[in-house]
Amino acid sequence: QVQLVGSGGGLVQAGDSLRLSCAASGRAFESYSMGWFRQGPGKEREFVAAISWNGDSTEYADSVKGRFTISRDSAENTVFLQMNNVKPEDTAVYYCAVDWDISAMKSGPLDANWGQGTQVTVSS
């Protein structure tokens, strides 16, 4: 059984930085792409960022490009999301996800910690 456990959320002010982590267990994730989705209040769930199995490729939503950086520690099956210069519109529950490749993940991830995400709240 796959387990994805996110951490690092909280309440911050606009312009601050925050780092989310997600540890995966229950499967050998070194061959999987990993990524993040989010769902803000009253909004649809949206893709945020993803990183390939070897870290060579990354993709970001336009809304976070230049502010967020995704990285991974494959040895620890952990993916990170460094969030800089956060904005109130970044307020959301953040979910981590896995899939065979980034394209597949953006269409609907193989697995994710839906229902157990990490809350990020950005005050103005």
Tens digit of pLDDT for each residue in 70-105? 999 988 889 999 999 999 999 999 999 999 999 999
Helices (H), the chain: 102-107
Q: Are strands 118-123 and 10-13 parallel, antiparallel or unpaired?
A: parallel
Do the Cβ atoms of 102 and 85 come closer than 8 Å? Answer: no
Tens digit of pLDDT for each residue in 8-64? 999 999 999 999 999 988 776 778 899 999 999 999 999 999 999 999 999 999 999
Specify the pLDDT at position 1.
64
